A and B are shown apart, each in its own frame.
Chain A
């Protein structure tokens, strides 16, 4: 993934800490409780702000040669780019498609897409996607009785 210098990551963390503190100011105090709901998150935000500033300051004092961020090695290899992008694409595709197509069809399509993106040949990809979606159905739906999304393929099953 992206390599970020301590200056870059420190500033991002300090920003998050500050945002947590600012948001906590909006929490109303409740009755006689000696601890406001804002106290604990405020404390967390303060520590994150402090850590972020310490990292950024440390980087400046060390005169870190690295720029704010450098592009990683894998971005130079198209096969790896495709494999890395396939991971979030599969999660998003499952989330969006499974309520529409049902579990079996989605699992088959997402597995097939993943395998092809990982450069497995089509025949193996088709066979593995078929077996894996059936196996997942067996484990989660049949054995553990989890009601996974119902779709047109499930409607055909006995």
Chain B
């Protein structure tokens, strides 16, 4: 990999402008309560459609890193998490603010986010190419099982009810079936509509499920304006640096846990924040201080949620299996750009992968100066009337979804899936597995069909190779073990 070429690509004026603009956009969306990093990424997709792969992916990487940090700002100021990734420690951060330590907690959020982000990036840079070397030896059978393992893990992790997670996943897989069959060219579930022959537009689906569904939810609850936020005063960075120095091992632990959880398909920044905060409390020398305005858990969790972003790109780039909903969008963008995420991306598009690594480092370095500005501007940004903001976001969603294919039909997809996403979330069905199913559906069907054709219809071929058999075992274990454990858990009390 040639990092010099990658740096030159990233530092081209256009790419750099896109990165800085996406950073500001990410900081803005992240700091607005209720608007998620995934929504910010989804809103960028129509714009990236017209860009080369490096600025396109760079925009999403930068925007999501900034949004996850910025979610901490309204948490500390208003006790409302900007994104779900900050929810775990929002109460702690707010308590610190009330104790007069607002600058300290926001500074810790910022520095720990940058440390976590860089840690996750370094793991990504070191681990992904090595794993890709191994993955290059995989055949379609191994890929088939790997895709199933990824989808299963994502389904089981993202929902407390595995059946609802599975339903969401298969709804996504069904949406991916709509259109012309890749092998036979036969139209399936198009109901004679020409617009559906090419399948459900991925960009329209992403905007519907991630942006419009969220706008519906916000519109249903918009009845009071936010309280006026406090003013952040004094020098910000020095206060955070001393806290980070005191809890340096917490920052390292949070970064490690976040990166690992990011690599795991389905577990993103939200879960990383919760688990790291819980681990911090469990191993703290002063667990009784947690919840009263104690900085320790904030260090762990702030580092963790940003670290998970880099981790999530490991399975996405190496196997084409998204680690979280943002990488599901990235895979969609790569597919639209004609690139197939998977180990061959490292050999065929090595320069682009290197450039993505450079963007990751740059985004986390930019986080400090731009994050400081965001903290300073927070008081004014949080005064923006949500009643004005939501219509503006909706207009960007509508025009963005329409502009990709200049298709009115895509707007009906946006509306239909927006409504469906809203109903699903309100009833406990997670959206992320559905998007994974939609993104990976065609790949799963193709690898299954190709494998079957190769094996002449003999299903034994799927477990004939040792690695394929091991992966098949893991796949079945993922589904069977939780049910066995649950049954065993039910029987034990009865027996005693």
Binding site for B on A (CB under 8 A): 1-4, 9, 13, 20, 23-24, 27-28, 30, 33-35, 37, 40-41, 44-45, 47-48, 51-52, 54-55, 58, 72-74, 77, 79-80, 83-84, 86-88, 90-92, 94-96, 98-99, 103, 107, 110-111, 114-115, 118-120, 124, 128, 132, 136, 139-140, 144-149
Contacts and interface: CB of A to CB of B under 8 A. Distances in A.
Nearest to A81: B220
Q: Is the interface of B mostly helix, strand, loop or mixed?
A: helix
Interface string B176-194: 0100010110101100000
A30 B181 CA distance: 11
Interface string B386-408: 01101110111011001100101
Interface of B: 47, 50, 163-164, 166-167, 170-171, 173-174, 177, 181, 183-184, 186, 188-189, 212, 215-217, 219-223, 385, 387-388, 390-392, 394-396, 398-399, 402-403, 406, 408, 411-412, 414-415, 418-419, 422-423, 426-427, 429, 445, 448-449, 452-453, 455-457
B167 A13 contact: yes
Given A83-B220, A87-B212, A146-B406, A128 B427 contact: no
A14 B418 CA distance: 21
A69 to B, nearest CB: 10
Contact of A132 (B222, B395, B455): B395
A136 B388 contact: no
Given A58-B163, A83-B220, A128-B392, A27 B399 contact: no
A3 B186 contact: no
Nearest to A136: B399
A154 to B, nearest CB: 14
Given A77-B223, A120-B391, 6 more contacts: A47-B166, A58-B163, A80-B222, A103-B399, A118-B388, A120-B387
A33 B414 CA distance: 35
B388 A88 contact: no
A120 B50 contact: no
B456 A34 contact: yes
A146 B408 contact: no
A1 B220 CA distance: 8
Contacts of A54: 163
B391 A111 contact: yes
B304 to A, nearest CB: 32
Contacts of B423: 1-2, 4
Contacts of A33: 183-184, 449, 453
A118 B222 contact: yes
Given A30-B186, A146-B50, A140 B403 contact: yes
Residue of B50, B217, B221, B403 with most partner-chain A CB within 10 A: B403
Contact of B395 (A2, A96, A110): A110
Given A41-B177, A41-B189, A95-B408, A107 B395 contact: yes
A45 B189 CA distance: 12
Contacts of A72: 220, 426
B418 to A, nearest CB: 8
Nearest to B449: A35
A30 B180 CA distance: 14
A27 B186 CA distance: 8
B403 A95 contact: no
B387 A136 contact: no
A35 B448 contact: yes
B186 A37 contact: yes
16 contacts: A1-B216, A2-B423, A2-B426, A30-B184, A33-B183, A35-B449, A40-B177, A72-B426, A80-B220, A110-B395, A111-B395, A114-B394, A115-B388, A118-B390, A132-B395, A146-B50
Given A41-B189, A55-B164, A80 B183 contact: no
A132 B406 CA distance: 20
A41 B391 contact: no
Contacts of A103: 399
A148 B215 contact: no
A88 B208 CA distance: 11
A13 B429 CA distance: 12
Contacts of A115: 387-388, 391
A41 B167 contact: no
Contacts of A13: 167
Contacts of B445: 40
Nearest to B173: A44
Given A1-B426, A3-B427, A51-B163, A37 B170 contact: no
Nearest to A94: B398
Contacts of A51: 163, 166-167, 170
A86 B219 contact: yes
Contacts of B395: 90, 107, 110-111, 114, 132, 136
B411 A44 contact: no
B487 to A, nearest CB: 15
Given A58-B163, A118-B222, A132-B392, A48 B170 contact: yes
Nearest to B412: A95
A90 B220 CA distance: 16
Contacts of B167: 13, 48, 51-52, 55
Nearest to A92: B415
Contact of B183 (A20, A35, A86): A35
A88 B457 contact: no
Contacts of B396: 136
Contacts of B457: 34-35
Contacts of A84: 216, 219-220
Contacts of A96: 408
Contacts of B427: 1, 3-4, 9
A58 B406 CA distance: 45
B72 to A, nearest CB: 27
A45 B174 CA distance: 8
A145 B51 CA distance: 12
